[in-house]
Amino acid sequence: MVKERITSALLTEGDADWDPRIRSQLGSFAQASANLTNFVPNTGHPLAYSPSAPGSDVSPYGNDWDVLWLGTCGVEGDVFYTYPDETVAPYNKEYQLIQSQLGAEPFGELDRLPRERIVTNVRNALCTYTYALSLRGAIKLARISVDMDIMVDVFMSRKCGDGTLKCIAPWLAIMCDDGDKSDMGDHKHEGLREPTGGRILQYSTRVNAERIGEGKGMEEWKSNW
């Protein structure tokens, strides 16, 4: 990526899953991410923002990011937006696997209304189901990961948290793993498994791949709730 000067790349784990409506999900996330990355603080309230120059965007997600962490199993931040998204899972499907590093509870019901998604800077996160790198982020990672001796998600979380990397993430995550049938840590099975679908997805692309391939509409997709 660095050698060929590729401007951005998306990396996914082999068991990643997502909602077939991901195009519209990413459209909404892009607008919120651009607001978060392209706005600079005013001299007043620390969470008040003023816009950057109009028409200055190179990326629909904003110009100032290293990592878009689209698939986590928990995230914390201290500056965030919420926006309506009818594809977001209900509260009882939400789960966080991280322990707070900011002295507060991770995102939950008090931070968003039902059917709202959060987009936040990343101070702490876990799992790398899916993330995007900008060219700037790839260059930084290539330089700082030479002596990396811990798991990738822990390493990235620390570098996002200390400001080495500028990272943005949605919560709930837009991409996740394939539920309880994930291959992570399990190398004993043989053959292919039937997908169960990501736990936070109403419609799983893995579960509904055949139906989608047959041209069936959403009313015929299998729903998780």
Task: Check residue 34 and give left, alpha or beta (phi > 0: left; psi -120 to 50: alpha).
Answer: alpha
Instruction: Take residue 150 and report the two structure tokens written for it.
Output: 């811990």
- Per-residue model confidence (pLDDT) at position 101: 63
Q: Which residue has the higher pLDDT, 69 or 43?
A: 69
Q: Which residue has the higher pLDDT, 146 or 182?
A: 146
Mean pLDDT of 49-73: 74
pLDDT digits (tens, 9 = 90+) for 93-124: 887 777 666 555 567 666 788 899 999 999 99
pTM of the prediction? 0.85
